[in-house]
Amino acid sequence: MNMTTLPIGRYRFFQTLQPLSLLGKMTSKPLTGCWQVFSPSVSWSIYLDEGKLIYACYTDKMLDLIYRHLDRLSEQIPTLNSGIDKQLQAVFDSGLVVNQAIPNPDYLAICWLVNQKYMTPGQAGILIEQLAIEVLEPFLKMKEGSYEFTSESFMDDMPKFCHLDLRLIVEKCQNHSQNQENTKSRNKQQRFPFFSSKFGSHRQKLSKNLQI
């Protein structure tokens, strides 16, 4: 099978990108492969199988992100005990999982968890969905970058734990971001109630004066 590469070359200059338009391009055809997107500060890899999302990651400490989500899931999955991160790290340090030919030890970590019965394939799918939401949130805020598509990737021979609708994941990203903004706004009002009420009354007075 020949490797297929689509625009834009990784080493060319960055240009203005519209993330939602780019995601629409990704889902316009049932492609199988990897979209790599590069910004000045971070790069993303979005793996699709016939147009469905099977994994998404970025270059910013994916293993730490996995550990954080495993800690949250441990409340619902008893087999994910508090020391699972140390067990995973021991596996990586031993060299049993790390392979120079495999670009995503983070995905191998998920496969290892399933293989060792720490989680079921369905639970792994839930983890991958949660990771995708967090990974794609900063993607949606990207202003400039470049991208390319390759029809072959390391995922070709790996087990797949989910086939997600990328558009629904984007909606969840947007809802999550909005909820975080609302939480920050409420926290700010709670910390500075005097200023919030003072500015509120000032706006009311200004509005009355304008009506006069």
Locus of tokens 């067990």: 87
- Element (H or E) spanning 36, and its range? strand 33-38
- Residue 139's contacts (CB-CB under 8 Å, 6 or more residues apart) are 19, 37, 44, 58
Q: What is the pLDDT of residue 193?
A: 58
Q: Which long-range contacts (CB under 8 A, 24 or more apart) does 180-188 make?
A: none
Q: What is the DSSP string of 116-154?
A: TTSS-HHHHHHHHHHHHHHHHHHHTT--EEEEEEES--G
Question: pLDDT > 90: what percent of the chain?
Answer: 44
Instruction: For 96-146, write each residue's pLDDT tens digit.
Output: 554 544 567 889 889 999 999 999 999 999 999 999 999 999 999 999 999
Measured distance CA(160)–CA(24) in Å, rounded: 23
Instruction: For 184-206, write each residue's pLDDT tens digit.
Output: 666 666 665 554 455 455 445 54
For the chain, the structural domain boundaries read 15-185
CA 49 to chain centre: 17
DSSP summary character for residue 31: -
Q: What is the pLDDT of residue 179?
A: 65
- Is 0.85 topped by the overall pTM? no
**Rounded mean pLDDT of 85-100?**
66
SS3 content of the chain, % helix, strand, coil (to 5): 50, 15, 35
Q: Is a pLDDT exceeding 80 seen at residue 94? A: no
